[in-house]
Amino acid sequence: MDGVPLVGVDLSSAFLQGVRLKKANLVRANLDGADARDADLEWAQMEDASLRSTNLRGAKLTGASLRGSAMDGADLSGADLNSADVGGTSLEDADLHGADLRGMKWSGLRSVKGANVYGVKSAPGGFVEWMVGHGAVVKKEQE
């Protein structure tokens, strides 16, 4: 909120549950394994960030730019990705169960193998079909 850029910051394995970083500049940040459940990251700039195995369950990512980020194994269950840009992002083994994808920009997604798209809400046209055709799964519960 103070406008200090967090470019390249290492927040791996940090406890960030409920953190409010609306409009934060987190370009190239490392949030691998962080617990950011229910975080407010609306309109955050997170291009080329590393979010592997990050818990973003219920997070607000409305309008966030995640272009080129690595989100393999991330938990995005129930997250709000309304108007978020995930173009060029890797979502391998990510859990999108129940996520709101209304208006999400997804052109150029990289690996999506094993990503769970069960129960996604307001997915852009053709998204679920494309995901499944590229290795995503539709499972009620992750194993």
73-126 pLDDT per residue, tens: 999 999 999 999 999 999 999 999 999 999 999 999 999 999 999 999 999 999
First-to-last CA distance in the chain? 38
- The SS3 of residue 133 is helix
Residue 140's pLDDT is 87
Tell me whether residue 130 is exposed, middle or buried, using C-beta atoms within 10 angstroms of its C-beta: 0 to 12, 13 to 18, 19 or more: middle
Tell whether the model's pLDDT for residue 2 goes beyond 70: no
| Mean of pLDDT over the chain | 95
What domains sit in the chain, N to C, each tagged with a CATH number?
1-138 (2.160.20.80)
Q: What's the pLDDT score for residue 4?
A: 73
Closest by CA position to 77, among listed 92, 60, 98: 98
